[in-house]
Amino acid sequence: MPEQRTLLFQTLTSLHAGTGQPRGALKNPLLRESDTRWPVVSASTVKGALRKQMRDALYSQYEASDDWKNQANSDPQLLEVFGTQAETSPTALTFGPARILAFPLRSAHGIWGLITCPSALAQFAQSISQPLPELPQPEKTQVFCDSESPFLIEKKVVILEDIELGFQGAWPEGIQWLQAQLPAESELQSTLSNRLMLVSDTCFNLLVQSKTELFDFHTQPKENKQAQPVEFLPAETLLYTLITSEPAPLQTLLSQCPEYIHLGAYQSLGKGLCAVIPLSKEKTDHV
């Protein structure tokens, strides 16, 4: 019977996984979900990055070969998990896109914080097949966070980017539920306690669409340069992907799952570095 596991990705550097098509004045926008317009990393990008990482880990086994990459690409274990590069044979694993769970923002007090919203949490809960506890429902300009949060100003407001949000109280049930999905030793445990805030769907939608990062890359000489703005997800974004497979190949992948991975483009410039955090089996099986 197929099993499902979820991987969390914590971006350590800004990440660009784009469409390849311009959107208005933006030459290189991020790929976005068609319904929510939230940034997303395609399933093929996730699969390709994991495949490359697993192949590169075979270097010591094939380094004596004149073309070790070609030899490693034909490794039986790699083929069992991912199929061929040209996808002429079926793959044992089915990958989902990497969807957004939490988004980082600059704060007027506390440097930076993470926001999520009821819809993002509901989507995540559905993915891992875990019931979501009853959550507060923030209105448009409201925020829920710990009463000792470093982002609170005079225990009344939180200012994220240029938006002022009224403090409505804590939401311990939501924080504890998210922490329960993580390995106990994960450094994200404290990040969620200290930095995660719950905002309304409307506020979250506005911020994840308007507060991404833009970098200009110039393709012309300096005297005649043309800006090529590229849209990036900021560092500290939390994403997750669902993987479905028969038990044996899934276990093969998880046993060799890297601690870090590069997703998206501009890797030679240090972009797209992510920490990888597998959720435990007990927390992702369907019931």
- Would you state the pLDDT for residue 285? 43
Exposed e or buried b per residue across 45-59, where buried means at least 16 C-beta atoms within 10 angstroms of its C-beta: bbbebbbbbbbeebe
The predicted-structure confidence for 139-150, as pLDDT tens digits, reads as follows 999 999 999 999
- Would you state the pLDDT for residue 249? 86
Q: CA geometry: angle at 188 spanning 209 and 166, to 5°?
A: 50
Q: How many whole angstroms separate alpha carbon 270 and alpha carbon 265?
A: 10
- Would you state the pLDDT for residue 43? 95
The total number of residues shown for the chain amounts to 287
- Would you state the pLDDT for residue 61? 86
The predicted-structure confidence for 153-211, as pLDDT tens digits, reads as follows 999 999 999 999 999 999 999 999 999 999 999 999 999 999 999 999 999 999 999 99
Model pTM greater than 0.75?
yes
Q: How many whole angstroms separate alpha carbon 185 and alpha carbon 189?
A: 8
- Would you state the pLDDT for residue 287? 35
Q: How many whole angstroms separate alpha carbon 53 and alpha carbon 40?
A: 21
Q: How many whole angstroms separate alpha carbon 111 and alpha carbon 234?
A: 14
Q: Which stretches in the chain have pLDDT values below 50?
A: 282-287
The DSSP code sequence of 239-265 is: EEEEEEE-HHHHHHHHHT--SEEE-SS
Residue written as token pair 């998880």:
254
- Would you state the pLDDT for residue 185? 92
The DSSP code sequence of 120-175 is: HHHHHHHHHT-PPPP-----TTEEE--TT-TT-BTTTEEEETTEEEEE----HHHH
48 close to 55: Cβ distance less than 8 angstroms: no
Structure tokens given for 68: 């070790």
